[in-house]
Amino acid sequence: MKIATWNVNGLRARMDYVLHWLQARQPDVVGFQELKMADEVFPTETFEALGYNVHVHGQKAWNGVAILSKQPASVTQTGLPGEQELGSRLITAQIGELSFTTVYCPNGKNLEHADYARKLQWFDALSAYMQPVVAASKHTVICGDFNICPTGLDSWDDGVQLGGMFHTDAERERMTNLYSLGLRDLYRAQHPDAQMFSWWDYRAGSFQRNHGLRIDFMLACANTQASSTEIDRDYRKKIDGLTASDHAPVITVLA
């Protein structure tokens, strides 16, 4: 089974690009983030025509997550319990024996902003939500845009940015809390020394200079094994005149 996660940074603006990617990569399950559209305008029929079952937890102009699955899927949760005021940021579906969750975690804005403390609180709620999910599921995957660089290897210049947004001890502690539930970072497990990024700012030639961050993750429980996990960097480039998201997809092939 090929599963993927992708922050599309506005599906309306990226639809043709996303369809190009789906045709090229043929994933079986996809978690999308940052849809920036409400459920009623989500292009469900277009994805269904490609053979996907579609489940959406959208929001007008902001946030929004969705799951596409070639197998039947049943939604078990929309929205992070207790944290719905921060928007549509979580959806979980059961796909056969796989519990699949995709998340768009809060950015936090900056260390002085009230949203930074709310981001930490949101992650505490995420760990509390995932604990029974991991315990009850034979196979568990949680993926998405986590807006945290867990280690210095996940940032193009951790020496300068250490202690800043995405690089704070408190944020990294929240990732460690997720790992402690029995989840592991599939990309890092397979590429322990690689410095590869999943997000690059549109400005200042960041992509061309490889000034990026690895903030998009595929986490899985111990008995959910992967034969490969890669960051699809080719789909951060302009293709056929179509502009990419500022995030690249992450693709895992489950063993």
Length of the chain: 255
Q: Any residues with CB less than 8 A from the CB of 49 and at least 6 apart, and which?
A: none
Q: Any residues with CB less than 8 A from the CB of 111 and at least 6 apart, and which?
A: 164, 165, 168
> Closest Cα partner for 180 from 124, 131, 226?
131
The distance from CA 139 to its chain's CA centroid, rounded to whole angstroms, is 18
Q: Any residues with CB less than 8 A from the CB of 252 and at least 6 apart, and which?
A: 2, 3, 4, 141, 186, 218, 220, 226, 228, 229
Q: Which of 145, 185, 216, 246 is catalytic?
A: 145
Residue located via tokens 């996809």: 30
- 104 an active-site residue? yes
Q: How far apart are CA 135 and CA 84, in angstroms?
A: 24
Q: What share of the chain is helix, strand, coil (3-state, %, to 5)?
A: 30, 30, 40
Q: Which of 17, 52, 104, 116 is catalytic?
A: 104
- 154 an active-site residue? no
Sign of CA dihedral 183, 189, 193, 195: negative
CA atoms within 13 A on the CB side of 57: 23
* Active site positions, annotated: 104, 145
